[in-house]
Amino acid sequence: MRAALLSAVWLSTLALARAFNPLHHSGPAAPYFDAPSQAGIPKEIPEGCVVDQAAYVVRHGARYPEPGSYTGWVTLYNKLQNSSTPYNVTGPLAFLKTWVPPVDDPAHMPLYLSGVGALESFQLGVQLRNKYKFTPGGGNLTVWSAAQERVLATAANFLRGYLAQGSYVNNATLNRGAIVSMPDSVNWTSADSLTFTNGCPNYSNGDQSGPMKAVWSNLWQPRVAARLNSLYVQGELNFTASDVSVMGDLCGFSAEVDGDTRFCDILTPDEWLDYEYGNDLNYYYGSGPGNPYAGTSAWPLVKAITDLLVAGPGKTTGAGTFTPAPLIMSFTHDNDLPPVIAALGLWNSTLGVYPLSNSTRSADRDFRSSYLVSFRGYVALERLNCTTPSGSSQYVRVQANSAPIPIPGCVSGPGSSCPLAQFAQYVSQDRLQHVGEFVSTCNNTAANATQGATLITLGVGDLVGEGS
């Protein structure tokens, strides 16, 4: 009887391991994937509704590692190659004896978009063209981008997919897409940037990501290192907690750079959840709701998007002469997505699990970095135009990586959406009261500091000298 019970438990564990996908728990190293439905809200556009306007804030597509991360890969490689005593590794570590870092041009590759990143970006363009049908043919589209190469490349590949055209190098006048490249935020840009946290001096004072994640890492990474050393290492080679961190990062990066998923097999499912939670702590306390200035930094952009949704498609707001298309696309970095969530007051108050503990994994938390800051991750705000018995009404729903997120206290519309007028009040009054206005709360002392974000009502012609 006991043998039969143990066999059943083993089979159940094996089935769980086979169903578990580490790439869906890899945080910022994950290639893009659709997040699962949240709070029981269907992903489909509610029956009787159409999306007549949408705004996306998108992280760039998959890239090669940052130089600092690449240094960690090389350190691991050198440790494996330069051991002064013989060793052997077995099981899921056996491949390490012949492994080499998947970067063949280290002088140029780090920080730049990979082939998978270009494909992710192109695919997003195709998907949104097919989903919304805003551009049936012949139309143009302007998008906004932070200034770094990988972000601009993401925007360019998106446009190629969305507009179903090539890139006309020899005759630029034939290109139907335009990119407004926004300068990286500093004091003088105020909130008018897609790297808006850099224009909020107090933001760094509220960033507690380092110490919060360090406490958690010290709890789980040494335990994994000890397990690996006891099971799979013979000889004097000794893996450390730092090595475990590098191996975890290499799961997602190797998968997207060259299709190698062998690092994904090193950690157990439970250890992957610990790895993911470390990233959750990093983003929650660094650029998300756990940083009291994160929502402040992103609120001007959220307010500007809200004003456009209230005005409706084909309308403009502010002083610009440019009328945005129904699809408003902004491209930026991973650390600029959690502030948007914080500005909207999402993923921060349900089930009583906040603030996130750095000593115990909060299993019931809503905030999960893998569902937001994966490569090509996004926050989207959709304006729904719905037919009701009393006529036509407008609503707003927010999505992260395709999954709708309920807006606190405002879920009375179709598909748990929020009535547009109520959403506008929620952003302009409730959220502003919570996060504070940009200049004084951020302690931005620039002489020309401004409170609002006008960038999405400015076209290339309005930004002469700013880059395009």
Catalytic residues: 60, 334
For residue 454, with 0-12 CB atoms within 10 Å meaning exposed, 13-18 middle and 19 or more buried, which class applies?
Answer: middle
H helices of 208-356, in order, are: 209-232, 241-258, 269-286, 294-311, 338-343
Element (H, E) at 420: helix 420-425
> How many residues in total does the chain contain?
468
Residue 330 β-bridge partners? 57, 144
Amino acid letter, residue 468: S
Residues contacting 383, CB < 8 A, separation 6+: 51, 52, 53, 54, 309, 312, 313, 394, 395, 396, 420
CA-to-CA dists, residue 291 to 50, 71, 109, 168, angstroms: 36, 29, 32, 44
Residue written as token pair 């990062």: 249
DSSP one-letter string for 73-133: HHHHHHHHHS-SS-EEE-GGGGGGGT---S-S-TTT-TTSB-HHHHHHHHHHHHHHHHHH-
Would you say 64 and 112 are in contact if contact means Cβ atoms under 8 Å apart?
yes
Distance CA(250)–CA(257), nearest Å, equals 10
Q: What would the two tokens of residue 242 be?
A: 């730092």
DSSP one-letter string for 159-172: HHHHHT----SS-G
